[in-house]
């Protein structure tokens, strides 16, 4: 203690020097840690840049900016999607309301079935007896499975659009329209009303499958295909199955077997012919166009709402 008292200033200076050395050491340690982290980050960035440059294609270099090119191409695709949107307009559900009640849907369904039957009569299109256009399971009920009213309303609007194309083409007859199951009530319906497929949703669209079987001659078939192609509602015909209609044996009627089974009360098909003509050399030529049974696999493409 006596020495410290005699050398007080020296002792204080020594203590301050030790504190400064400790602070300097701590500062150096922090700087080293910071530099080490920065060096690791730099190596990581360099490694990422090298990986990008090694990719095919790479982001580019001083002469070629592939990143900017990709952004421009993305913009072109988005513009094309906006332009193509006019060919994929949504079909209004029936009834078209934010919240569909059981009473409203039941009434709309019966009105629509009655309207479609009258439109078929006006277009001279034959239908199966008491045909429900694939809604036999829902036609006579007033209470529907929970959560099914909205998708059923969408399907009713889409079936109405499909039937309208067939009526406009004036096909000879409609054997059946099939749709995907969207309700627990569908399990009680005729199996010929439904498809095994279901709607599929991806990042851009919802695709909903349908199948329609009808009888016609080739001009009416061409009109049906043209009607789907010209529709603004995103119809895509994925498959066409054509066979001679022939004389189908009578059975128990529609809804008992595969779509198109000819039942009682359904008249046989009519085959138009042209008179025989005699060509050169005494050869007879004639035209006998046969009634066709056509099944179309149709998909409706519906863009998702923009986020």
* CB within 8 Å of 168: residues ≥ 6 apart: 123, 223, 227
The pLDDT value given to residue 264: 36
Query: CA separation (Å) from 213 to 1, 162, 257?
Result: 113, 11, 13
User: Which helix (DSSP H) or strand (DSSP E) does residue 67 occupy?
Assistant: helix 66-84
Best CA proximity match to 134, nearest among 80, 218, 191, 62: 191
- Phi first, then psi, for residue 242 (nearest 5°) are -120, 135
Give mean pLDDT, residues 267-293: 58
- Phi first, then psi, for residue 61 (nearest 5°) are -145, -160
> Partners of 294 in the beta sheet?
214, 242
Residue 271: which pLDDT band, with cuts at 50, 70 and 90? very low
- Tell me the pLDDT tens digit for each residue of 194-249: 999 999 998 888 999 999 999 999 999 999 999 999 999 989 999 999 999 874 43
Query: CA separation (Å) from 28 to 18, 70, 300?
Result: 15, 46, 69
pTM for the full model?
A: 0.66
Averaged confidence pLDDT in the chain: 80
Whether the predicted pLDDT of 9 surpasses 70: no
In whole angstroms, how large is the CA radius of gyration of the chain? 37
* Domains of the chain by residue range: 86-264+290-303
246: left (phi over 0), alpha (psi -120 to 50) or beta: left
CATH class of 86-264+290-303: alpha beta
Classify strands 205-216 and 292-303 as parallel, antiparallel or unpaired.
antiparallel
Neighbouring CB atoms inside 10 A of 294's CB total 22
Best CA proximity match to 179, nearest among 140, 151, 145, 219: 151
């Amino acid at each position: 203690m006596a020495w410290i008292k005699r050398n007080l200033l020296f002792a204080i200076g020594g203590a301050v020097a030790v504190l400064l050395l400790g602070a300097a050491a701590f500062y150096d340690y922090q700087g080293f840690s910071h530099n080490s982290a920065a060096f690791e980050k730099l190596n990581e960035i360099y490694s990422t840049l090298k990986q990008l440059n090694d990719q095919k294609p790479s982001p580019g270099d001083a002469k070629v900016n592939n990143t900017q090119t990709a952004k421009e191409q993305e913009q072109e695709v988005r513009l094309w999607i906006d332009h193509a949107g006019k060919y994929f307009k949504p079909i209004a559900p029936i009834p078209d309301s934010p919240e569909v009640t059981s009473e409203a849907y039941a009434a709309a369904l019966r009105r629509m079935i009655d309207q479609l039957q009258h439109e078929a009569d006006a277009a001279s299109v034959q239908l199966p007896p008491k045909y429900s256009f694939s809604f036999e399971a829902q036609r006579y009920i007033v209470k529907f499975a929970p959560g099914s009213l909205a998708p059923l309303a969408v399907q009713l609007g889409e079936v109405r659009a499909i039937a309208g194309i067939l009526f406009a083409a004036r096909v000879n007859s409609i054997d059946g329209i099939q749709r995907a199951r969207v309700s627990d009530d569908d399990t009680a319906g005729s199996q010929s009303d439904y498809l095994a497929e279901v709607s599929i949703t991806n990042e851009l669209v919802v695709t909903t499958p349908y199948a329609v079987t009808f009888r016609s001659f080739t001009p009416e078939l061409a009109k049906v295909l043209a009607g789907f192609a010209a529709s603004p509602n995103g119809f895509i015909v994925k498959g066409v199955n054509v066979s001679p209609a022939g004389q189908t044996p009578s059975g128990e009627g529609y809804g008992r077997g595969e779509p198109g089974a000819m039942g009682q009360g359904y008249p046989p098909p009519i085959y138009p012919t042209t008179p025989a003509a005699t060509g050169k050399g005494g050869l007879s030529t004639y035209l006998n166009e046969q009634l066709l049974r056509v099944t179309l696999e149709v998909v409706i493409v519906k863009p998702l709402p923009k986020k």
